[in-house]
Amino acid sequence: MQGPLAGTLVLDMTRALAGPHAAMMLGDLGARVIKIETPTGDDSRGWGPPFLGEGEERESTYFMSANRNKESITLNLKTEDDKDVLRRLVKRADVLMENFRVGVLDRLGFSVEELHRLNPGLVILSITGFGHDGPEASRAGYDQIAQGEAGLMSITGSEEPTKVGVPIADLLAGMNGAYGTVAALYERERTGKGRVVRTSLIASVVGVHAFQGTRWTVAGEVPGLSGAHHPSIAPYGLFHTQTAPIQLSCGSESLWTAFAAALDLDATDPRFATNGDRVAHRDELIAIIEEKFATAPAEHWLELLSAAGLPSGKVRTIDEVYEWEQARSQGLVIEVDHATKGRLTLPGPVIRLDDQPYAGSRETNIAPPTLGQHNESVRRWLDETEE
C-alpha cells in the first residue's frame, strides 16, 4: 500500500454514488477502504443495464464506476453479531463514512456519541441530500432532484431545464466529503480527536454556482438557460462547421483580436469592440462566425485556431475520450483484475503525485469488489489484530 493515506482505515457505509465516490478518492490515495454493505448489497449494484454477466453473477458497470480500491463485507445491522463486527471495526478505523437519512444510524445504535465512545479519534463523514438540519433535513436526496432544487437545471440547456449528463450533485458531494475528511484527519494530528464532517447534495451544487450565484446575490439578475454559450463572455461556446461542431473561447480582448484576424473579421466593429458589446450582440456574432465556419470542415478551423493561439477543441464522444492518447498519458484509463470478470478497463484516479507515471498512489489498483468478497479475510484480520 502506498500513498499519503497509507495506513488509514476507512469504513465505507455509504451506497449509491456520493459517499462511495468520497471513499474511492481516499482509496486512490492509499487508504484501506472496507465497504460495509447490507446482505443485498449497495443499491447501485442493481442499476443497469449495462451489466457484465447474467443472473446472480452479473455486475453493474454503474457500481464499478465508484468502488475501485475497496474491499467488501456484508453486515446485517439488525443482528447483534454483525453489530459487534461493526463495533470491532470502528475501534480500529480512522474514518467512517455514511449517507443514511437523518436518524437512521442512531436507530441502529450507532449515534455520533456512541461511535466516539468506541473511538474518540474517529472522523465521521455524513452526506445527506438537503443537510442534516433545517426544515427539510428529512428529505431523501437523489442527484437529479438536487440538481433541480439547487438551481443547476435552471441554467443548463437551451430550450428547457436540463440535467447535467453525469450525477454531478452526487459527485461534487463526494469530492467535498473527501476533502473535508482529509482536513479533519489533519486536525486530528494536533488534537487527537475526531469530528463529524457534514456536506450535502444541495450544498455541493450551490457551492459551485460561481459567477451565476453572484449574478443574483450581487447584481440582482436571475440567470436563465445558457445553452452552449457562456452568458458573460463572447464568443465562447459551441459552433457548427461544415462537418462537426467545435468549441472556442475568446476570454480576453487580445484573444478576440487574434480570432478576428484569423477569420478576417473587423475587431473594431462597434457591435463587437468590447466583450460587453459582443455579449449584447451575441446572436449577430454567432451567426457571422457560423457562416464562416460553414465553408470548411472542423479540422481546418481547429488547425487555424490553434495556429493563431486560440483556445479551441472538438466535442469528443465518451469512447473517443478513452482512446485519446492525452487521456491515457494522464493515467485516466487503468486495467484491473476483477474477481469474477477477469481483466477490466476502468476510468482511473484523477490525482498524480510527483512524477509517477500512474494516477493515484498505488502501483496496482484494486478492482471493484464482488458483494461480500472479503467477508472472511476482514473477519480473520480482526481476529488476528485482537489476538
pLDDT at 153 over 80: yes
- The pLDDT tens digits of the residues spanning 121-131 come to 999 999 999 99
What is residue 46's predicted lDDT score, i.e. its pLDDT?
94
Q: Which residue has the cell 492525452?
A: 326
Rounded to the nearest integer, the mean pLDDT of the chain is 94
Mean pLDDT of 62-89: 97
Sign of CA dihedral 16, 18, 24, 28: positive
pTM of the model: 0.93
pLDDT band at 56; cut points 50, 70, 90: confident
pLDDT band at 102; cut points 50, 70, 90: confident
Task: Sketch out the chain's domains with CATH numbers.
Answer: 9-208+326-386 (3.40.50.10540), 236-240+245-314 (3.30.1540.10)
Mean pLDDT of 163-174: 97
Give the percent of the chain with pLDDT over 70.
97
The pair phi, psi for residue 193, each rounded to 5°, is -115, 145
What is residue 355's predicted lDDT score, i.e. its pLDDT?
66
pLDDT at 119 over 90: yes
pLDDT at 354 over 90: no
pLDDT at 363 over 80: no
The answer to whether the CB of 254 falls within 8 A of the CB of 248 is: no
pLDDT band at 1; cut points 50, 70, 90: low
pLDDT at 357 over 80: no
Mean pLDDT of 21-48: 96
Q: Which residue has the cell 441502529?
A: 108
What is residue 378's predicted lDDT score, i.e. its pLDDT?
97
What is residue 361's predicted lDDT score, i.e. its pLDDT?
54
Compute the CA torsion angle 355, 358, 363, 364 (nearest 10 deg): 170
- The pLDDT tens digits of the residues spanning 262-297 come to 999 999 999 999 999 999 999 999 999 999 999 999
pLDDT at 358 over 80: no
Active site residues: 170
Mean pLDDT of 186-198: 97
- The pLDDT tens digits of the residues spanning 296-316 come to 999 999 999 999 999 999 999
pLDDT at 37 over 80: yes
Strands 196-200 and 342-347: unpaired
pLDDT band at 110; cut points 50, 70, 90: very high
Q: Looking at this protein, which amino acid is placed at residue 339? A: A
The answer to whether the CB of 72 falls within 8 A of the CB of 38 is: no
Count of CB atoms situated within 10 Å of the CB of 323: 11
What is residue 57's predicted lDDT score, i.e. its pLDDT?
84
